[in-house]
Structure 1
Amino acid sequence: MSLELKRSFLEDELDLFSEEADLTDDLAFMHWFYRRHFDLDDEDEIPPDEIVDGSGERQIDLFRIDIDDIEQRSHIWLIQTKTSKSFGANTVSLMKAGLDFIFKTKRKKVLELKNQKFVQKILEARDVIKQYGNTNISVSCLYVTLGDDQNLPEEALENASNIMDEYESGGVFGDFEFKFCGVHELDRILNIRRNRARKINFDLPIAYDANRPSIIEFESAGVGSLLCTVRGEDLAKLALVEPRDAVFDANVRGNLGLGGRVNKNIYASSIENEQAKYFWFMNNGITMVCDAFSIVRDPDSPMVKLTNLQIINGCQTTSSIRAAYEAGELSEDVKLQLKIYQSKDRSFVDNVVVATNNQNAIGTRDLHANDEIQLLIQRRIEEDYDLFYERKRGEAKSANVPKSKVINMEKAGQAYLAVFKRQPTISRAQKYKVYAPEYYSEIFEKGRPSQIAVSHELYKYSETLGRKAYRELEDDDPLRNILNYGVFHITRIMWWVLEKETDIDTADHASLITKIRSGTKRIEKVHERATDILFDIVDENNESFVNLNNYFKKTASQQDINKHLVKLEKDD
Structure 2
Amino acid sequence: MSPDDLKYESLQKILAVYEEKGRGESIAFLNWFLENIFRLDPVDADDAICDRPNDRGIDGVYVDHTKQEIIILQGKLKQRESTIGDAGLRELAGTISQFDTPQSVQALLDGGANQELKAALTRNNVKSLIENGYEVIGAFICNQALDANGMEFLDQDSSIRVYDRNLIASELIDIDREGGVKGTFSFDTSYVSPMVISTGTKAITYILPVQAVELVMLSGIDDGTLFSQNVRHSLGNTKVNKELRVSVLDKSEHENFTLYHNGVTILCKDAKFNGEAIEITDYVVVNGAQSISTFRKSREHLSKDLRVLAKIIKLEDSVLSKKITINSNNQNAIKPRDLKSNNEIQVRLLEEFKRVEGGEYAFEIKRGQDIKPGKKVITNEEAGRLLLAFDLLEPESCHQVYKLFDDKYNDIFARPAVTAHRILFLHAIMGRILTAAEGINYKPLAKYGLTRFFLLSVISDLMKSNSNSAQFLKEPRALFEAGTIQKFLQSIEEVLQSIVIDLNFEVESLGDQFDYKGDLKSPAKLRELRGKLRRSYEKDVARKKS
TM over 0.5: yes
Q: What residue in structure 2 maps to residue 478 of structure 1?
A: 442
Q: What residue in structure 2 maps to residue 369 of structure 1?
A: 341
Q: Is 1:451 matched up with 2:427? A: no
Q: Tell me the alpha carbon deviations over residues 450-490 of structure 1, each in whole angstroms, 9 at most, x when there is no partner.
A: 43442344335434665xx4xxx9xx941552354411111
Aligned partner of 2:520: which letter? F
Q: Tell me the alpha carbon deviations over residues 107-154 of structure 1, each in whole angstroms, 9 at most, x when there is no partner.
A: xxxxxxxxxxxxxxxxxxxxxxxxxxxxxxxxxxxxx9649xxxxxxx
Say if 1:145 and 1:182, in contact at 8 Å, map to a contact too.
no
* 1:296 to partner: Cα distance: 3.4
* 1:345 to partner: Cα distance: 1.5
Q: What residue in structure 2 maps to residue 488 of structure 1?
A: 453
Q: What residue in structure 2 maps to residue 159 of structure 1?
A: none
- Judged with a 3 Å threshold, the aligned counterparts in structure 2 of structure 1 residues 252 and 86 are, in CA distance, closer, same or farther, namely same
Say if 2:221 and 2:293, in contact at 8 Å, map to a contact too.
no
* 1:561 to partner: Cα distance: 3.1
Q: What residue in structure 2 maps to residue 203 of structure 1?
A: 185
* 1:529 to partner: Cα distance: 3.0
* 1:260 to partner: Cα distance: 1.3
Q: What residue in structure 2 maps to residue 309 of structure 1?
A: 283
- What does 1:231-246 correspond to in 2, within 5 Å? 231-238=211-218, 241=220, 244-246=223-225
1:558 and 1:369 mapped to 2: Cα distance? 32
Gaps of 5+ in 1: 1-9, 15-26, 38-83, 95-143, 148-180
- Judged with a 3 Å threshold, the aligned counterparts in structure 2 of structure 1 residues 28 and 281 are, in CA distance, closer, same or farther, namely closer
1:330 and 1:521 mapped to 2: Cα distance? 56
Aligned partner of 2:429: which letter? L
Q: Is 1:422 matched up with 2:393? A: yes
Aligned partner of 1:528: which letter? Q
TM-score (norm 2): 0.62
- What does 1:546-557 correspond to in 2, within 5 Å? 548-557=516-525
2:208 is paired with a residue whose SS is strand
Q: Tell me the alpha carbon deviations over residues 335-380 of structure 1, each in whole angstroms, 9 at most, x when there is no partner.
A: 1000011112211111111122421111111111111121122222
1:33 and 1:533 mapped to 2: Cα distance? 59
1:294 aligns with one of 262, 272, 296: 272
Q: What residue in structure 2 maps to residue 510 of structure 1?
A: 477
Cα root mean square deviation, aligned: 4.2
- What does 1:103-118 correspond to in 2, within 5 Å? none
- Judged with a 3 Å threshold, the aligned counterparts in structure 2 of structure 1 residues 492 and 332 are, in CA distance, closer, same or farther, namely same
1:253 is paired with a residue whose SS is coil
- Which structure has the higher relative contact order (CA within 8 Å, separation 6+)? 2
- What does 1:339-488 correspond to in 2, within 5 Å? 339-385=311-357, 386=359, 387-395=361-369, 398-402=370-374, 405-427=376-398, 429-437=399-407, 439-446=408-415, 447-449=417-419, 450-463=421-434, 469=438, 477-479=441-443, 481-485=445-449, 486-488=451-453
- Judged with a 3 Å threshold, the aligned counterparts in structure 2 of structure 1 residues 508 and 376 are, in CA distance, closer, same or farther, namely same
Q: Tell me the alpha carbon deviations over residues 522-544 of structure 1, each in whole angstroms, 9 at most, x when there is no partner.
A: 44323323333433443444456
1:462 and 1:190 mapped to 2: Cα distance? 35
Q: Tell me the alpha carbon deviations over residues 18-43 of structure 1, each in whole angstroms, 9 at most, x when there is no partner.
A: xxxxxxxxx79669979x99xxxxxx
TM-score (norm 1): 0.59
2:182 is paired with a residue whose SS is coil
1:320 and 1:28 mapped to 2: Cα distance? 43
1:255 aligns with one of 234, 237, 243: 234
Q: Tell me the alpha carbon deviations over residues 534-558 of structure 1, each in whole angstroms, 9 at most, x when there is no partner.
A: 334434444567x633432333442
Say if 2:502 and 2:536, in contact at 8 Å, map to a contact too.
no
* 1:185 to partner: Cα distance: 12
* 1:234 to partner: Cα distance: 0.9
Aligned partner of 1:345: which letter? D
1:204 and 1:188 mapped to 2: Cα distance? 37
2:272 and 2:171 mapped to 1: Cα distance? 31
Q: What residue in structure 1 maps to residue 204 of structure 2?
A: 224
2:486 and 2:231 mapped to 1: Cα distance? 29
1:224 is paired with a residue whose SS is strand
Say if 2:362 and 2:371, in contact at 8 Å, map to a contact too.
no
* 1:283 to partner: Cα distance: 0.7
Say if 1:202 and 1:306, in contact at 8 Å, map to a contact too.
yes
- Judged with a 3 Å threshold, the aligned counterparts in structure 2 of structure 1 residues 186 and 495 are, in CA distance, closer, same or farther, namely closer
1:495 and 1:189 mapped to 2: Cα distance? 29
* 1:402 to partner: Cα distance: 4.0
2:229 is paired with a residue whose SS is coil
2:190 and 2:260 mapped to 1: Cα distance? 21
Say if 2:436 and 2:497, in contact at 8 Å, map to a contact too.
no
2:347 and 2:222 mapped to 1: Cα distance? 18
Aligned partner of 2:516: which letter? L
Gaps of 5+ in 2: 15-72, 83-140, 145-164
Q: Tell me the alpha carbon deviations over residues 221-256 of structure 1, each in whole angstroms, 9 at most, x when there is no partner.
A: 421211111111111111x54772110000011222
Q: Tell me the alpha carbon deviations over residues 154-199 of structure 1, each in whole angstroms, 9 at most, x when there is no partner.
A: xxxxxxxxxxxxxxxxxxxxxxxxxxx999999999545x988x63
Q: What residue in structure 2 maps to residue 71 of structure 1?
A: none
Say if 1:252 and 1:370, in contact at 8 Å, map to a contact too.
yes
Q: Tell me the alpha carbon deviations over residues 366-401 of structure 1, each in whole angstroms, 9 at most, x when there is no partner.
A: 111111121122222332343322111111xx1325
1:267 aligns with one of 238, 245, 248: 245
1:425 and 1:28 mapped to 2: Cα distance? 45
- Judged with a 3 Å threshold, the aligned counterparts in structure 2 of structure 1 residues 490 and 463 are, in CA distance, closer, same or farther, namely same
Q: Tell me the alpha carbon deviations over residues 238-290 of structure 1, each in whole angstroms, 9 at most, x when there is no partner.
A: 1x547721100000112222x21111111111121122221111110000111
